[in-house]
Amino acid sequence: MSRLAILWKKKGQTIGFVPTMGALHEGHASLIRRARKENDKVVVSIFVNPAQFGPNEDFSRYPRPFDKDRALCAALGVDILYHPSPEAIYPPGYKSFIEVEGLSQLWCGHFRPGHFRGVATVVLNLFQTVSPARAYFGEKDYQQLTIIKTMARDLNLSMRVIGCQTLREKDGLAMSSRNQYLSPSERRDAAMLYRSLCEASEKINQGIEIASALKAARQKILSIPNSRIDYLAAVDGLSLEEIKSPRLGARILAAVWIGKTRLIDNIKLA
Ligand code: AMP
């Protein structure tokens, strides 16, 4: 992979890179299409990264439909599908980890300690191998996108990290590889999450206080059977610190359990 990347670079060809954990859906496909449009070569990685899963999380049951993923990548004109083994990324004696301080401890980082350390580490490792001119990440994982942008800035990576808008199912549920964990009734209820975020953002944009808009959203989400909220908050779009009154670029971030499935989503405030 690295040798090909060097060859392409020598020829002046740009590489667009889309890192994923596989179980590809239209959300991933939209990133790949954008990479295809903006670069000479497209590399997609599929790597279910053990370092970003906690001990009681879904690492072993995470879906791995590799043949289907490979066919989709081929249909989308991907030049290289990079699918390393865990041992190739973390050989015996591996000791180096990346910590993006502060940002990694907030929100999902609080509920999933070590998660973003694992994400930043593997993403930098993949960037080193692929040498992309541009890397594409979904706004769906807004905290992840912010952390990767910060890492790229702090470490002077000579590439651009590009955020792409969230693709949604018809009822508004953000597409996610984890949606397939939902039972049919949970799947129907799950649409309530995005609806609640939309309603809250509309209220805030109309001048209603953030606290009261979020209180209503919280009640609505908790009306879903077997639901639990990890967090639901309005945050500054760059620092991800909680805000009490609206400002430019702010977002509402949410992580919600429905049964045994954890869903995350977010929405921009005007
Ligand atoms: P994952 O395979 O879940 O690690 O996601 C790989 C990349 O696809 C990440 O940059 C995600 O943010 C992005 N992604 C996942 N779901 C969506 C979606 N519904 N719309 C846009 N991008 C997404």
**Averaged pLDDT, 61-88:** 98
Strand order in the sheet with 261-268: 227-235, 251-258, 261-268
Residue-range domains of the chain with CATH: 2-164 (3.40.50.620), 177-268 (3.30.1300.10)
* Amino acid type, 183: S
Query: Residues lining ligand 1, CB < 6 A?
Result: 20-21, 27-28, 30-31, 137-138, 140-141, 164, 166-167, 174-177
Give the pTM: 0.98
The closest-lying atom of ligand 1 relative to the alpha carbon of residue 31 is 22
Structure tokens at 236: 């500054």
> pLDDT tens, 32-43?
999 999 999 999
Catalytic entry in 25, 28, 110, 115: 28
* Dist. CA 80–CA 214, nearest whole Å: 44
Q: Identify the pLDDT of residue 132.
A: 97
Which residue, by CA, sits nearest to atom 13 of ligand 1? Answer: 138
Residue 49 DSSP class: -
User: Of 15, 260, 2, which is closest to residue 162 (Cα–Cα)?
Assistant: 15
Do the beta carbons of residue 44 and residue 18 sit within 8 Å? yes
Sign of CA dihedral 147, 153, 157, 163: positive
Strand partners, 251: 235, 268
For the segment 114-129, the average pLDDT, to the nearest whole number, is 98
Q: Which of 149, 151, 220 is nearest to 189 (CA)?
A: 220
Nearest ligand 1 atom to the CA of 21 is 2
User: In this predicted model, what pLDDT tens digit does every residue of 1-25 receive, in sequence order?
Assistant: 778 888 998 999 999 999 999 999 9
Q: Is 28 a catalytic residue?
A: yes
